[in-house]
Structure 1
Amino acid sequence: MKVVIAEDSAVLRDGLELLLTTRGHTVAATVSTGDSLQSAVATHTPDIAVVDVRMPPTFTDEGIRAALDVRRAHPSVGLLVFSQHVETRYAAELLAGGTQGVGYLLKDRVADTKDFLAACEQIASGGTVLDPEVVTQILGASRRATNLAALTTREREVLALMAEGRTNTAIARTLFIGDGSVEKHISNIFAKLGLPPSESDHRRVLAVLRYLS
């Protein structure tokens, strides 16, 4: 199995290389940036690329965005996103292009090197390996997006003003509607976001958090 590793941590990068080579696999290149990943894959055409999510220069999502570019340019190359973070938007996009030869594992949840190696081999041969926590977060993000999509334009406007900390009276004044209309819109928002009355939860805060996420 020929592998390209994209990881900004030198210690982890060298550790993965040592692990793979001692088990008889070939590490064709190790890189520390998303741009270098694309170049390395184009040069070596590996069986699999192991990619971290957060890489230089901003350490946000460069790695997984580079993985998506690799997927589009080299669909036969297996991809294992190996990170401490779940980027639900890009993970869903990666899986939407087909699950063959794709994996997403969380570093903290891989307890055995044998499991990691088995995952690499499975992905390189066209299989799919997903951490259950990744699946849970992707599905949760999908449900939240679906719920927000169900809001009308006016309900979205009301929710946006709620997120700014406006009171019902201030929202009514801004949108030139009555206080009763604002209350009705907020009630509809709670219903569509699946936020029933509760003594332990503040629905207004939960709705705003849902909107901001």
Structure 2
Amino acid sequence: MRVVIAEDHVLLREGLVSLLRDADIEVVAQVEDAEGLLRVLAGHKPDLAIVDVRLPPSFTDEGIRAAIEARRRWPDLGVLVLSQHVEEAYSSELLAGGGGGLGYLLKERIGEVTEFVDAVHRVADGGTALDREVVAQLVRPATDGEPGRLRDLTPRERDVLELMAEGRSNAAIARELVVTPGAVEKHVTSIFGKLDLPASGDDHRRVLAVLAWLQDER
């Protein structure tokens, strides 16, 4: 796997490089701004770009804008966005584009090394990796007194939906909720029925379909 990192904080950038190299992941380029990111992506054609939401010069939305543009130019590129806090508007816009190979994690998750490396691999392979706090921001407000089909979900179905959106498989959801895989499958089927979404055997497509629906409803 070949990775490009866009992060202006030197210590964090170097820490990411060290962490990834220890996991036998090749870091082919490091940049500190959005312009540099697009330039090295064009030159190196990596499998994955790890991008800070806020980059110079204004430290507002340069990183996320570059990530969105990168996905437009290179649809097969995996993009893992890192943020200090949940930026709901930014996450909504990034997720609205659909497609696989997408992650959005809080920076504090980097310290959970095994899980972070797993997320890197998952996104590079075309899957999803969404921080539990991002999922909570996207799912919970839509279930609290707002019109729409989410209000028809049971509390357990909402738990399953949130775990689905984190990129969990049915087996992983079953372990987390301490239920049988068969029970999870029934919940998933019920969720898709209530949301008028066709059930799919592809975990990543189902996550993106649910999130796309949530964005349309908000």
**TM range, smaller chain:** 0.5 to 0.7
Task: Confirm or deny that 1:12 pairs with 2:12.
Answer: yes
Q: Distance in 1 between matches of 2:97 and 2:109?
A: 25
Any conservation in 2 of the 1:122–1:128 contact (CA below 8 Å)?
A: yes
| 1:115 correspondence with 2:118 | no
Supply the distance in 1 between the matched residues of 2:30 and 2:111 (Cα, whole angstroms). Answer: 23
Larger radius of gyration: 1
Q: Is structure 2 residue 137 aligned with structure 1 residue 137?
A: yes
Is residue 91 of structure 2 the alignment partner of residue 81 of structure 1? no
- Runs of 5+ unmatched residues, structure 2: 148-218
Q: Which residue in 1 is equivalent to 2:175?
A: none
Counterpart-to-counterpart distance in 2, 1:8 and 1:69:
19
Find the counterpart in structure 1 of residue 33 from structure 2.
33
Q: How does 1:52-201 map to 2 (within 5 A)?
A: 52-139=52-139
Deviation at 1:114, TM superposition (A): 1.2
Counterparts of 1:52 and 1:129, CA distance in 2: 15
Cα distance, 1:13 vs structure 2: 0.5
Q: CA RMSD in A?
A: 2.0
Matched-pair contact (CA < 8 Å) for 1:51–1:79: yes
CA distance in 2, matches of 1:54, 1:10: 14
Please, what TM-score do these two structures have when normalized by structure 1? Answer: 0.64
Measure how far apart 1:86 and its partner are: 2.2
SS of residue paired to 2:50 = strand
Preserved contact between residue 53 and residue 85 of structure 1 (Cα < 8 Å): no
Q: Distance in 1 between matches of 2:5 and 2:141?
A: 28
Contact 2:6 2:32 in 1 (8 A): yes
| Cα offset, 1:106, TM superposition | 0.4
Give the aligned length.
Answer: 146
CA distance in 1: counterparts of 2:45 and 2:73, whole angstroms? 11
- Cα shift at 1:139: 4.1
Residue 60 of structure 1 aligns to which amino acid in structure 2? T
In the alignment, is the contact (CA less than 8 A) between 2:109 and 2:116 conserved in 1? no
Structure 1's unaligned 5+ residue stretches are 148-213
Cα separation, partners in 2 of 1:36 and 1:10, compared to 1, 3 Å: same
Alpha-carbon distance in structure 1 between the residues aligned to 2:23 and 2:110? 17
Report the alpha carbon displacement of residue 64 of structure 1 after superposing the two structures with TM: 0.7
Per-residue deviation, residues 102-145 of structure 1 (Å, max 9, x unmatched): 0000012444211111100000000101012112223467789x
> Which protein has greater RCO, CA pairs closer than 8 Å, 6+ apart?
2
Q: 2:122 aligns to what SS in structure 1?
A: helix
Distance in 1 between residues matched to 2:69 and 2:142, nearest whole Å: 22
**Which whole-Å deviations, capped at 9, do the CAs of 1:40-61 have from their partners, x for residues lacking one?**
1111111100000111101111
- Counterpart residue number, 2:50: 50
Would you say the 8 A contact 1:88–1:141 is kept in 2?
Answer: no
| Higher deviation after alignment, 135-144 or 19-28 | 135-144
Query: Measured at CA, do residues 140 and 60 of structure 1 come closer, stay the same or move farther in structure 2, by a change above 3 Å?
Result: farther
Does 2:26 correspond to 1:23?
no
- Corresponding residue for 2:182? none
Q: Is the partner of 1:86 in helix, strand or coil?
A: coil
In structure 2, what is the Cα distance between the partners aligned to 1:72 and 1:143?
31
Query: How far apart are residue 22 of structure 1 and its match?
Result: 2.2
SS at match of 1:80: strand
